[in-house]
Structure 1
């Protein structure tokens, strides 16, 4: 019987595992590990095999767990999870978790071959089940604890970066505020030294924010995979959010029908925010009681999203300048003039373009152009 073989050779098997561990220079075991790792598992395996030879073999599942991947509440699952957590605390990799249990399996196989010890097929199945469950629980706990540690490190790193950003933002903004206050109090023109300080501070703010947005965009591009989503659903969500803003602005908001078969591949949140930015800009500058329209449609291999207002048209030469950060062309100077710049960058990150067309004396039309995709029927 395997449980008799394991009981009679317990010390020999543990010594063999320790030797195998010692032969891996990157895996230095502590006394506590050597006591609680393989020896504990070996004792649980012996008890499992003994119970499976009794009149109630299913009771062994309380020790070693079933073979369906739900062993975490068994004795073996708890100790294996502790073993995985210990290895992580010691700085080892996940393959070391697997090696530790593999060492015991190899030691049992080698010793059985040397002693010519016959085992039953069911006993081998029990051994494999116990090894599978122990490895699964140890690796699961190891991975969970590692993910928690990585998440904590990322939070610390993010807080440090936010602290740097806030500190630099405050400094540049403080300098700009002082320069503006000095110019205002002394009735100074902005062409002198004070104006130079103000301009330099605003340029620094632009660079700082652009850099931060670039880092955020790069992080998003690495962590978020593009998906294909419904254009019609997106426009419906936009409309729901924009209806109230249109009412407050005192204009009529019209949204045309969108073909449900049209799809877009990219970041849905970025496109949603971009369209909302364009609409907010339109509501801000369109004349009272005029209409703002939102049209989304397909043209050849492209998806086009048009936002049209009745602002009266654009000043000469201002079409492209309005996409620059902090540039504001209208009378209403509320906000920072970042919306169009952010929207263009977001659209370009999805492989599209954002342009504006002036309708002299009437208004302007902002157009998002993206590659066309088809929604697959559900």
Structure 2
């Protein structure tokens, strides 16, 4: 529940940013429309000119318009605005796509194939506001086989792990996410360089209502629900941690053996979220 609250706030922030500058761009275009209309009138007057004197008069009007409106810079600004607006709309579309993959799977059968690398990408996009400019993110994703389950459910698990990691880390810490195949299993590891967890707490970490967070910061249900989801998908989740060193969660899922198609990886190279 706490993760969902942060997720909602983060998604709102991620959508508001591009919407704000798209709105600003539209305001700019609205302001330059009168100038563009003036140029249209000049072109029409030139086309209707029948004498050299008329054409000379229109040409002078065109020169004056150019001086007042700086056509070269105006064209560049409009081109930049279109590119920025397109990029912003693509960001909103990506976020909406990730949200749909996070929640819209109620009617999807449990034996649906799941691409774990796509889930990692979607989950990172949803928690981007919690991580960017604070945490260095590295991804080591391999071409791994598809697994059985529900994409939205795995996204929920990953979002919870990423949010937990973000809350455990200080500015400049590192989150490393890996995917690989091991003995007919697809494995995901989420490793942070945060504050770590005491040994006595590790044994209770997946119990309902148990939390290591301060009062009001956690419900103690996130990891319990994550454990239940992973178990329902036929997988396992385990944790290793050392105080002041960091924590690593490992998720392991049996490969969908009857369908050995490999998932499309998000990327094999290290990825820095701040780039």
> Does the 8 Å contact 1:239/1:255 carry over to 2?
no
Residue 297 (1) aligns with residue 183 (2): no
Cα deviation for residue 263 of structure 1 reads 0.9
- Corresponding residue of 1:323: 206
Residue 339 (1) aligns with residue 225 (2): no
After TM superposition, the structure 1 = structure 2 runs for residues 157-196 of structure 1, keeping only pairs within 5 Å, are none
Q: Superposition RMSD on alpha carbons, in Å?
A: 2.6
- Corresponding residue of 2:129: 244
Higher relative contact order (CA 8 A, sep 6+): 2
Cα deviation for residue 221 of structure 1 reads 9.3
- Corresponding residue of 2:155: 272
User: Structure 2 vs 1, CA of residues 222 and 247 (structure 1 numbering), >3 Å: closer, same or farther?
Assistant: closer
User: Structure 2 vs 1, CA of residues 376 and 370 (structure 1 numbering), >3 Å: closer, same or farther?
Assistant: closer
How many angstroms apart in 1 are the aligned matches of 2:168 and 2:248? 12
> Runs of at least 4 residues of structure 1 off by over 6 A?
220-223
Deviates more, 1:275-284 or 1:368-377: 368-377
> Does the 8 Å contact 2:160/2:222 carry over to 1?
yes
How many angstroms apart in 2 are the aligned matches of 1:274 and 1:326? 17
Residue 255 (1) aligns with residue 255 (2): no
How many angstroms apart in 2 are the aligned matches of 1:368 and 1:311? 19
What SS class does the counterpart of residue 317 from structure 1 fall into? helix
- Equivalent pairs counted in the alignment come to 157
> Does the 8 Å contact 2:193/2:245 carry over to 1?
yes
How many angstroms apart in 2 are the aligned matches of 1:303 and 1:237? 18
User: Structure 2 vs 1, CA of residues 243 and 255 (structure 1 numbering), >3 Å: closer, same or farther?
Assistant: farther
Cα deviation for residue 222 of structure 1 reads 9.6
How many angstroms apart in 1 are the aligned matches of 2:227 and 2:216? 20
How many angstroms apart in 1 are the aligned matches of 2:262 and 2:200? 43
> TM-score, normalized by length of structure 1?
0.38
- Corresponding residue of 1:229: 114
Given candidates 224, 228, 253, the residue that maps to 1:370 is 253
> Does the 8 Å contact 1:229/1:375 carry over to 2?
no
How many angstroms apart in 1 are the aligned matches of 2:129 and 2:188? 20
After TM superposition, the structure 1 = structure 2 runs for residues 353-368 of structure 1, keeping only pairs within 5 Å, are 353-368=236-251
Gaps of 5+ in 2: 1-104, 265-275
- Corresponding residue of 1:310: 193
